[in-house]
Amino acid sequence: MNYSLKRTIMKRKITFTIILTAILAGTTLSVGAQQISGGIKGGLTMSNFYVGQDDIDDENARFGLNAGLFGQIMFFETFGIQHEILYSAKGTEVVYGGLIDQTVNFKLNYLDFPVLMVIRPVEILEIHAGAYLGLLLSAKTEYSGTIEGNDEISRDNFNTLDYGIGAGVALNFGNMQTGIRYNLGLQKLAKSDVANLLLGDSKNAFGQLYIAFRFNN
């Protein structure tokens, strides 16, 4: 095993350890909480990922939905932890040039598990920052250009586990909240040789606009 490969493996282990530690910390810190609330949330996801291929002419974002549940534990008036379970539609549209002109629309659907620190300097404002784990539910591609059609791609072509970091801001209006968040994936998407040919070292990157409603306070 060469030195470069050892470094890559070590970095992935360290990153995964940090994210897992954050999730476990968020789970165990519920003791002594001053305020516990939960509810539903949903909104719009604008997703993209970077395809490190030389024959890329253009890349366009995919717009989809995000929806799920959240629980928030405030240990103090200004600090807490938020857990979420979210369905997230991700992907991108890539235009390949060269010998064959082809547009490929990647559609990847995930179940995400964000764990976020919550900083609330004033009642109306929250700042969120933390990590997420994502489980790939399904994958599909649509082709246009020289080749037309669509194909259900086996999850075996992709890494089924995604993970990354995220941060955003939210505004509270009573039991309603509206917010924006940006997430950056740290896991390579492609697993098989076929997926790697199209995606290279691509990783997920997606922004989310959402509205949330608290059921208990």
Question: pLDDT tens digit string along 95-131?
Answer: 766 656 677 788 899 999 999 999 999 999 999 999 9
Q: Which domain holds residue 102?
A: 3-216
pLDDT per residue as tens digits for the range 150-161: 555 667 888 999
- Nearest to 183, CA basis, from 197, 168, 171: 168
- So what's the pLDDT on residue 213? 96
The percentage of the chain sitting over the pLDDT mark of 70, rounded to a whole number, equals 72
* Number of domains the chain contains: 1
What are 41's strand-pairing partners? 68, 212
The mean pLDDT of the chain is: 81
Size of the chain in residues: 217
Which pLDDT does position 193 carry in this prediction?
A: 81
pLDDT digits (tens, 9 = 90+) for 7-20: 555 656 556 565 65
15 φ, ψ (degrees, to nearest 5): -60, -45
User: CA nearest 90: which of 64, 113, 60?
Assistant: 64
* Residue 165 belongs to domain with CATH number: 2.40.160.20
